[in-house]
Structure 1
Amino acid sequence: MEDHGRLPPSPPSADLGNQLRVARKAAGHSLATMAALTHFSKPYLGHVETGHRQPTPEVVDRYEQVLGVPIGVARDPVRTAHEWLCNSQPPAGRPPRTGRRLGTTQLCRLEARVIELRHRDDVVGSRELLPVVRAELDAVCRLADDAVYTDQHSIRLHTVIAELAQLVGWIASDAGYYRHAEQAYLTGAAAADTAGNRVLGGQLLSSLAYQITNIGNREDGLLIAKTAVAGAVDATPVARALLLERLAWAAARCHDPDTCRRALDAVDDAYDQRSPGISEPEWVYWLNRAEIDVMAARCHIQLGQPAAAEPLLTRALADYNPDHVREVGLYQTWLAEGYARTGNHDAARHTLDQIDTSAVDAGSVRLQRRIHAVNRLTTTGSH
Structure 2
Amino acid sequence: MRTRSGRRVGHGLAAELESRVVELRHLDDTVSSAELSPIIGKELMEAESLVRCASFTEAVGKRLFTAVGELSQLAGWVAGDAGRYRQAQRLYLSGVAAAEEAGDRMLGAQLLSSLSYQIANVGNPADAALLARTAVQGAPEATPVVRALLLERLAWASAKAGDAETTWTVLDAVDDSYERRGADEPEWVYWLDRAEIDIMAGRCLIELGRPREAEPLLSAAIACYPPEHAREVALYRSWLAESYARAGELDAAREVLDGARRYGAEMPSARSDTRFEAVERLLSGLDYRH
TM-score by length of 2: 0.97
- The residue type paired with residue 306 of structure 1 is P
Equivalent position to 2:111, from 204, 227, 244: 204
SS at match of 2:257: helix
What displacement does 1:98 show?
2.5
Rounded Cα–Cα distance in structure 2 between residues aligned with 1:175 and 1:358: 16
Cα distance in structure 1, aligned partners of 2:99 and 2:219: 37
1:360 deviates by: 4.8
2:54 is equivalent to residue 147 of structure 1: yes
> What is the aligned partner in structure 2 of residue 179 from structure 1?
86
Misfit runs of 4+, over 6 Å: none
Indicate how the Cα distance of structure 1 residues 133 and 303 shifts in structure 2: closer, same or farther if over 3 A, else same. same
1:215 aligns to what?
122
Larger radius of gyration: 1
Task: Give matches, 1:22-33, under 5 Å.
Answer: none
What are the ranges of 5 or more consecutive residues in structure 1 without an aligned counterpart?
1-92
Partners of 2:14 and 2:194 lie apart in 1 by 33
Task: Summarize the alignment of residues 277-292 of structure 1 with structure 2, pairs less than 5 Å apart.
Answer: 279-292=184-197
More helix by share: 2
1:373 to 278, 286, 289: 278
Worse-superposed segment, 357-366 or 321-330: 357-366
Aligned-residue offset at 1:361: 6.5
Give 1:1-383 correspondences, 5 Å limit. Answer: 93-95=1-3, 97-276=4-183, 279-357=184-262, 359-360=264-265, 362-381=267-286
Percent identity, aligned pairs only, is: 54
Structure 1 position 103, deviation (Å) = 1.3
Q: How many residues align?
A: 288
d(CA) in 1 for partners of 2:132 and 2:206? Answer: 20
Aligned to 1:78: none
Are the structure 2 counterparts of residues 367 and 295 from structure 1 closer, same or farther at C-alpha, using a change threshold of 3 Å?
A: same
Q: Distance in 1 between matches of 2:70 and 2:265?
A: 25
The answer to whether the Cα contact below 8 Å between 1:162 and 1:192 also exists between their aligned partners in 2 is yes
The corresponding residue for 1:49 is: none
Shift of 1:196: 0.5
Q: Distance in 1 between matches of 2:261 and 2:31?
A: 14
Residue 359 of structure 1: CA displacement?
4.0
Deviation at 1:275, TM superposition (A): 2.1
Q: For the Cα contact (< 8 Å) 2:83–2:270, is it kept in 1? A: yes
2:145 aligned partner, one-letter code: V
Q: SS of the counterpart of 2:66?
A: helix
SS at match of 2:226: coil
CA root-mean-square deviation:
1.3
Paired amino acid for 2:281: R
SS at match of 1:355: helix
AA matched with 1:249:
W
Over 3 Å counting, the alpha-carbon distance change for 1:177 and 1:363 in structure 2 is: farther
Note the alpha carbon deviations across 1:79-132, whole angstroms, 9 max, x for none. xxxxxxxxxxxxxx322x321111111110000000000000000001000011
- After superposition, the Cα gap between the structure-2 partners of 1:359 and 1:130, relative to the gap in structure 1 and judged at 3 Å, is farther
Q: Which amino acid aligns with 2:122?
A: I
